[in-house]
Amino acid sequence: MEDREHGPPGHGVLIRLAREAQGISPETAAARMPFRFSGASWRQIEAGYRGAGTKRTPVPGKPATVANMARTVGVSAARLREHNAEAAEILEEIERQDAQQQPGMPDALRAAPPHVRRMIDAALEDVDPADRAELLRELAGDYEAVTKRRGRNTGQPQRPRHAG
């Protein structure tokens, strides 16, 4: 049984596992949040605390923050409910709003990372609603071509980019 005072909360473990499965750091995940968020804050909510020793203080994470963290790394509301019912309710509402705002979103774009979807949503704000479906189909085709070219759909790891 988990030591509640010293171990991470259940939602923190779930979010960390999902993040690690994607191979991304807390800083990368935090940058994909729909609002400004730091990698340090991400780490603290995953761990459930900040500081060390006698200066260690709990950091449970606000339900809305936990919901957005889960969404960012692809954790469903159903899975989150097992560990944080209040955050799961918020995530369900986020998912409902997403579904209403993105009717006709092609599967390729729906499966894109949150930061890509946010860029698409921002671009669509200036497009005539009558032209959106056609534009989304074109974007989906382009996005699929790029992801195939980069090897993301083949299941093979990407080569790291080297600076310098």
129 shares a domain with 54: no
Closest CA to 58 of 112, 12, 114: 12
pLDDT at 46: 96
> What's the pLDDT score for residue 118?
80
Whether 95 and 144 map to the same domain: the answer is no
Same domain, 7 and 84: yes
Whether residue 59 is found in the same domain as residue 94: yes
Same domain, 76 and 123: no
Domain check: are 112 and 144 in the same one? yes
Q: What is the domain extent for residue 83?
A: 1-101
Q: Is residue 107 located within the same domain as residue 97?
A: no
Backbone angles phi and psi of 38, in degrees to 5: -100, 155
Q: What is the pLDDT along the chain (164 residues), one digit of tens a residue?
A: 344 456 899 999 999 999 999 999 999 999 999 889 999 999 999 999 999 888 999 998 999 999 999 999 999 999 999 999 999 999 999 888 877 665 567 878 877 888 888 888 778 878 877 788 888 888 888 888 888 888 754 444 445 555 55
Angle in degrees, CA 45, 81, 40, rounded to 5: 10
At 52, list the tokens. 């060390």
Residue 45 forms part of a structural domain: yes
What 3-state class would DSSP assign to 50? strand
Single-letter amino acid, residue 163: A
Question: What is the spatial distance between Cα 69 and Cα 94, in angstroms, rounded to a whole number?
Answer: 12
Residues 80 and 147 reside in one and the same domain? no
State the CATH number of the domain containing residue 63: 1.10.260
Q: How many domains does the chain have?
A: 2
Q: Return the HEC string of 56-93.
A: CEECCCCHHHHHHHHHHCCCCHHHHHCCCHHHHHHHHH
Q: Is residue 156 part of a domain?
A: no
Q: What is the pLDDT of residue 125?
A: 77
Q: Report the DSSP beta bridge partners of residue 49.
A: 58
Structure tokens at 99: 């579904």
Considering the domain architecture, whether residues 73 and 88 belong to the same structural domain is answered as yes
pLDDT tens digits, residue range 88-106? 999 999 888 877 665 567 8
Considering the domain boundaries, does residue 157 fall inside one? no
Q: Using alpha carbons only, what angle is made at residue 48 by residues 47 and 53, rounded to the nearest 5 degrees?
A: 85
